[in-house]
Structure 1
């Protein structure tokens, strides 16, 4: 099964040292009145704040962050800003989302029960690991699900962010679901559907619920052997040190013979070319075996291990099976206390 997954946002941010402040004001585009309580955060991180009664916000920007700034408020269309400057005060106009507030969701009935559709959604969205199985959606009723009979496709949507509790890793996640679909192959002889590809997109904000020693150990275990760990190790030229082995046609190979990393005009961004599909084996866990294939000539990495565009790489095996239930915020550090 080929699994492709896409995060809408560019995922950056690892350093803990803060050096800049991004500030601005959130305003109702219709009334020109300030909006109090709007969520403001760097996507896929734990770095966020809310606007005050004057609509003002100040958010500390980690040194290496280049990820989009997300501004959202219930009943308004979300703003995702990539071209912000810490030296310039932002004026963010939120447009009321009339269609979302007044929408009546009418769909034709399909042959799948909601229980079956929800089970398929959770499995593909969270994954099947212990971390994934511990995840609970606190506002599950806000998810709209439909199986499209003529396309063998399950689609999902939500007009409000999903509030997810990852009980194993002790994160609460606010996930603003932009898109979700599973394509199935139907086998007549078995009268069964099998997922052939999964696609989901959205913005994420993490809140740590605990930093106990036990939780720190669980997070380290989730990090080791992950895509993020691999990409950071690749840029730091520490694949061997971090116990990653690369295989081509079943034989161990050197990264420099199959992966080219070049500088770009941006000193924080690197251009990467994967010359052949490679198998990645993590010696930290022999079950963490993956295959990486590039769908583009090049992809790009920032210094903190984020790859873009997100759909430039196709993951199979462990990397492909890791979903929201096993992801860590991009400002995660293995030495967090």
Structure 2
């Protein structure tokens, strides 16, 4: 079974803090090099908050808590724009300078690429996901995707200069997604994408709205957003999370490199004193294949430490808006209130665990830096510091809820 790794840059979510009850605003003006731009759409990444620039290109977003925000701008004829804004103890004023889009429709030359459908399919699988909710998601404008495949690096790269529009009929959202980058390395099987989503509610009847609520609750509970919120609040155990260490141990099924290389050299070096016959070649090929397979096997495998970790032992206060998860290595995070589905167990994201361990949803957070900073609402500040495996790598855009999402059903 293939194993996929997923870098937590699928969303550059931002966050807020409860350190202060004061509310602030972001005000500003939208313009290009020549003039102000009335009518520009202004959005907060990861939220459902938006406004429109007035006749003078000015805008204002109120009722914001201290935190780190990404302001997105959309305007016909201009490239999508984002600006990071940090609110500490006062309101912030910004100038948003847009660049004209150089794309002229009647000058576009479309070159047929026989592999484009294949790459679009891969993008949907690794961006939208393959969960049950993903089956009800659709990219409305796939034509804006620019595709590049580097065969020497086995690297698929996808970019766009427009907002990607994703309709999620499972959770009842329409996303405008500013895709910064998407990469899939088929050699390492590492998936990486980053961007800024804006959420809009789909119109729905009361009956359909109830279905949306139920599915949103299910998507939220057990997610990385839920985990970091509860970690900030100090109630991960009460919320159903179990934290263990994942320790790397030498692979007992793999020979040392010295033995592998010695056998490969011996088998591949012709013996001048021996006449090579067709009868001996298959045997040698089998032995060569065995040692080459040994060379491909991982030198280390993950071992689950059964002793639970106290969340308090991993935490420190980074500043009045942020807390820090301090650990160097891999953490296994289980959500004991939901079981892994049969569909998930057949994917390349499934994580092996000992047979006596319950089939709780389990995710592996590989911490590449000693210190992951996160906000009260579950937003991670330095998201490059984590690489996900397991359930959190499996659930992607199709299972996202806004950062200001508040569950309506109590977690049992």
Fold conserved between structures, TM > 0.5: yes
* Aligned equivalents of 1:59, 1:177: Cα separation in 2: 23
Higher helix share: 2
Matched, 1:279 2:272: no
Stretch deviating more after TM superposition (85-94 or 276-285): 85-94
Partner of 2:72: 70
* Aligned equivalents of 2:85, 2:119: Cα separation in 1: 34
Q: What is the TM-score of this pair, normalised by structure 2?
A: 0.71
Matched, 1:200 2:193: yes
Structure 1 spans left out of the alignment, 5+ residues = 186-194
Stretch deviating more after TM superposition (101-110 or 293-302): 101-110
- State the Cα distance separating 1:39 from its structure 2 match: 1.9
Partner of 2:282: none
The answer as to whether partners of 1:22 and 1:61 remain within 8 angstroms in 2 is no
User: What is the RMSD computed on CA atoms of the aligned residues?
Assistant: 2.7
The answer as to whether partners of 1:79 and 1:94 remain within 8 angstroms in 2 is no
Question: Residue 214 of structure 1 aligns to a residue in which SS?
Answer: helix
Matched, 1:9 2:12: yes
- State the Cα distance separating 1:106 from its structure 2 match: 7.5
* Aligned equivalents of 1:82, 1:47: Cα separation in 2: 15
* Aligned equivalents of 2:95, 2:30: Cα separation in 1: 6
Partner of 1:263: 317
Matched, 1:126 2:118: no
Partner of 1:241: 238
Deviations 1:6-35 (A, max 9, x none): 1463422598x99333222212222x2x21
* Aligned equivalents of 1:260, 1:241: Cα separation in 2: 17
Partner of 1:321: 394
* Aligned equivalents of 2:396, 2:221: Cα separation in 1: 15
Runs (4 or more) in structure 1 with deviation over 4 Å come to: 83-86, 100-110
* Aligned equivalents of 1:106, 1:146: Cα separation in 2: 16
Partner of 2:172: 170
* Aligned equivalents of 1:128, 1:289: Cα separation in 2: 17
- State the Cα distance separating 1:268 from its structure 2 match: 1.4
* Aligned equivalents of 1:332, 1:246: Cα separation in 2: 24
* Aligned equivalents of 2:230, 2:116: Cα separation in 1: 42
